[in-house]
Structure 1
């Protein structure tokens, strides 16, 4: 964060500075960071008190004072020995403070570039790739995990300081107008749109509304800013006319990417599901690439990230080197470990951060590819949870996932519901139903289908399958509400990271 006095902060957030104590944290103090989690307070912090569904940040203002905060942004005065800036809405104030911080950084003489990223799938992985690539060029700030909403993005933007060269701003949306608001906080110089899928279809109501929402990142570009667009997705490609500057295409099939864009050819995966391909740059130069992370679907994410990096002056060989060395990305995204549960052991592919139909298919494709290049045929288990916000077709979409798992050669499907949420339980039932219906039409298939109603039951089924089938590979995939990421954390206590190869 750019150093700011409390008066400057109060003006930026349109608040009223009150209750300023005497001493080292008086009104003349300087703030050097901003946080909304009181556990992250340090000397010089501004603590933004946000009232959530379970926890009210105003209850922690006194503790923030003890830990070194110089002020708190609150929506009402709190009995605490700390300068307070009173505003109507602390979330809105957080956004205003972040926008002011970005404006302060842009006023500095050194170059500064914001790269915005959105899409129905792949945002966080592409953000991780961009952080690695741009980090090799200069000081880079990027979100932790998936900080991509009205709270997460401002907190990331407030980490920008005078020496920051790049900000990678992940921008998500649950409704029309949300990304537009994020671009007002951090107007991008470059905007990446990955894919328009069916994630949050229930919230938006139609794919057309999703296109409208995602296009806001292109409309929010600074004058002359460049759009990096997926040429293979017609919904994304339709955004080109609204770009205020250049359009750089990426993709594997459309001629706009194949001629003058960023593309890949000769795509393959090795026995550990790591993709290899030939990267073709805008000038036609070719460079072999082996990604350090898994999943053929990540080739498209890599092309988007490579397009940004090359636009900013990085050569293809350097891009290939960084993408090849990137082995760790945000948690619960195709993370591989070896798990031992008593006398059972298995390889875990943890892709449990979230799920929608596109990412479900990608995860199952990764499970299908595991060991394929080496000729090995491991016993494959898909532990699948519900997908949310899919609209009126949600049952059919879940049944399709169950059927697709069988298409991928899965040996066992474990659909995981919830004892506390009948809707989530019913969606898991639809996955199992789709798998069983597909299984009924296939003579000779020995695949098993289990429907369980909590993660404890899933744990027991997987342990049994792993005991019965040595060398089993288990995919975890579902929306956060399914609890599969919590199951992954439980297994983490018995896991060892796969060694780097």
Structure 2
């Protein structure tokens, strides 16, 4: 962050500054260099933000912070025994946002280029963020969130990593309700706003796809006055946001981008045996370059187009963009990450896409699994391990059945639907997914496709091991909501491989 005195921090968050009973003079001279909300991350020059969360109250960790190097704590009430300056505010999360906003305003005030890129969409935000981070880093110091830090806590914490030398901030902006992205843009108003896709993630929270589109459009309304808007031309809900763009619009897509004035598209998309897409990257200026993505998944072509559009706007040549996209091998965890797993003598390939799930990303993951070594003389045995999806509203049962059907019709060799013995709702949704898969099996000419309904990730683990002992070349896709426990299963397997 930009170095600040403790009184400046207090002023930025409109807080009441209370000095510790001793050491006032020393604390008054302290300089804040970092901001965290996890006391385990406190180091010299840290401002600790005490957040009263669902499971942990940060105020419990305020005493003793000085010994770790903290210079102040932002709190909602004075904490007895605190040995650092306390900045008392009405709401510590809102104060965190105010401090992040102040930090960005100070960076903008410097006589050096600085740009904020905001990214939103129902799917693809984190992967696009990772790809864009890779591209922009070649042009200047770039700050981007770890994983999917995209809410009212994660975004400000990321923005507070911006310092005097930062050239770009990539801000991922997510929402469960209308108005949330608008609040994030007040903290970090984008110079460039990217809208990826309007899908049915969080449909249960929003109520309709139209309301989801309304929420995503808030990033466009929140742009800087001369902001650039980067829109998915293939999504009509997003294309309609052209009408509210404050200034220049750039388009990307695979079908309709060329209908517009300034565009980037992907032609001749093919997949190799590892599911990695190759395509011709073309622009409205008549330039083109061949790209082979270093990460698997046909759906990542659109994410790459979005990232490339932004990098190209900032002056990165197409050839350099193609080179960097070719070289990307790792993105945030649990997003189409490929590894080998060996358990009790059985080995299989894992495609870990277990970070979260909605119908769009489920289909994309299944497509990626289907493309894995497709066309080989001896194709692998493909197993989809699919957890329940949440926040889908009144159509959730039908949507789960549809995904089960989609998995079988994609010619996969086995489907394992994962619910929860402790959560009857999760288990019911998993049963619907399994039911849809069984219906598809019964309607197909492949009656031998096994479909299992597991009531825990551990039960799914056993089923996977049994199948792996029966098939020498097996590839497993893990895909489901966080509550399904599949990401924890992937982490367990990763830990086992490290310890082996």
Range of TM-score over shorter length: over 0.9
Paired residue for 2:46? 45
Matches within 5 A, 1:20-419: 20=20, 21-22=22-23, 25-78=26-79, 79-256=81-258, 260-419=262-421
Deviation at 1:28, TM superposition (A): 2.7
* 1:261–1:282 Cα contact (<8 Å) kept: yes
Residue 373 of structure 1, CA deviation? 4.7
What's the offset of the Cα at 1:22?
Answer: 1.1
1:495 Cα deviation (Å)? 3.5
Structure 1 residues 69-98: Cα deviation after superposition (integer angstroms, max 9, x where no partner): 000000011121111000010000000000
Displacement after TM superposition at 1:321 (Å)? 0.7
- 1:10 maps onto 2:26 in alignment: no
Aligned-CA RMSD value: 1.3
Change (3 A) 1:413 1:24: farther
Q: Is the 8 A contact 1:257 1:263 kept in 2?
A: no
SS of the residue aligned with 1:288?
strand
Deviation readout 1:231-265 (Å, 9 max, x if unpaired)? 00000001001000101000010054676400000
- For 1:25 and 1:391, locate their aligned partners in 2 and report how far apart those are by CA, in whole Å: 55
Preserved CA contact (<8 Å) 1:25 1:82: no
Q: Secondary structure, in 3 states, of the residue corresponding to 2:349? A: strand
The residue that corresponds to 2:485 in the other structure is 483
Alpha-carbon distance in 2 for matches of 1:490, 1:410: 25
435-444 or 457-466, larger mean C-alpha shift: 435-444
Please state whether the residue corresponding to 1:291 is helix, strand or coil. strand
Q: CA deviation at 1:23?
A: 6.1
Worse overlay, 51-60 or 193-202: 51-60
Cα distance in structure 1, aligned partners of 2:68 and 2:16: 23
The superposition leaves residues 474-501 of structure 1 with CA deviations (integer Å, 9 ceiling, x where unpaired) of: 00000001110001011112347xxxxx
CA distance in 1, matches of 2:307, 2:231: 11
Alpha-carbon distance change, 68 to 25 in structure 1, aligned in 2, over 3 angstroms: farther
The normalised TM-score by structure 2 is 0.98
Quote the offset at 1:377 in angstroms: 1.1
SS at match of 2:295: coil
Query: Is 1:458 aligned to residue 460 of structure 2?
Result: yes
Q: Distance in 2 between matches of 1:80 and 1:23?
A: 13
1:243 and 1:259 map into 2 onto residues whose CA distance is: 15
- Unmatched runs of 5 consecutive residues or more in structure 1: 497-501
Using the alignment, how far apart are the partners of 1:444 and 1:68 within structure 2? 64
Return 149-158 or 27-36, whichever deviates more. 27-36
Tell me whether 1:468 sits opposite 2:470 in the alignment. Answer: yes
Q: Deviations over 1:78-131 (max 9, x none)?
A: 121111000010000000000000000000000100000000000000000010
Structure 1 stretch 434-443 or stretch 348-357: which is displaced more?
Answer: 434-443
Offset of residue 24 of structure 1: 7.3
Return closer, same or farther for 1:255/1:352 CA change in 2, 3 Å cut-off: closer
Q: CA deviation at 1:407?
A: 1.2
CA distance in structure 1 between the aligned counterparts of 2:319 and 2:436, rounded to whole angstroms: 45
Judging changes above 3 Å, is the alpha-carbon distance between structure 1 residues 492 and 255 closer, same or farther for their aligned structure 2 residues? closer
Query: Could you tell me whether the CA contact under 8 Å between 1:251 and 1:257 is conserved in 2?
Result: no
Deviation at 1:25, TM superposition (A): 4.7
Q: CA distance change for structure 1 residues 72 and 255 in 2, over 3 Å: closer, same or farther?
A: closer
Q: Tell me the secondary structure at the aligned position of residue 14 of structure 2.
A: coil
User: Could you give the per-residue CA deviations for residues 52-72 of structure 1, whole angstroms, max 9, x where no partner exists?
Assistant: 111111111124222100000
CA contact (8 A) 2:419 2:429 kept: yes
Deviations 1:435-455 (A, max 9, x none): 011111113432100001011
Distance in 1 between residues matched to 2:325 and 2:378, nearest whole Å: 26
Question: Residues of 2 paired with 1:458 and 1:63: CA distance?
Answer: 44
Give the structure 2 partner of residue 499 of structure 1: none
Distance 2:84 2:259 in 1: 56
Contact 2:254 2:267 in 1 (8 A): yes
Indicate if the aligned counterparts of 1:35 and 1:45 stay in contact, CA closer than 8 A.
yes
Q: Is the 8 A contact 1:292 1:325 kept in 2?
A: yes
Q: Which moved more, 1:354-363 or 1:486-495?
A: 486-495
> Which portions of structure 1, spanning 4 or more consecutive aligned residues, are displaced by more than 3 angstroms?
255-260, 373-376
DSSP 3-state at the match of 2:112: coil
- Conserved? CA contact 1:417–1:452, under 8 Å: yes
Question: Contact 2:414–2:451 at 8 Å: present in 1 too?
Answer: yes
Give the 3-state SS of the residue equivalent to 1:70 in structure 2.
Answer: strand
Does the CA-based 8 Å contact 2:48-2:72 persist in structure 1? Answer: yes
Alpha-carbon offset, residue 176 of structure 1 = 0.3
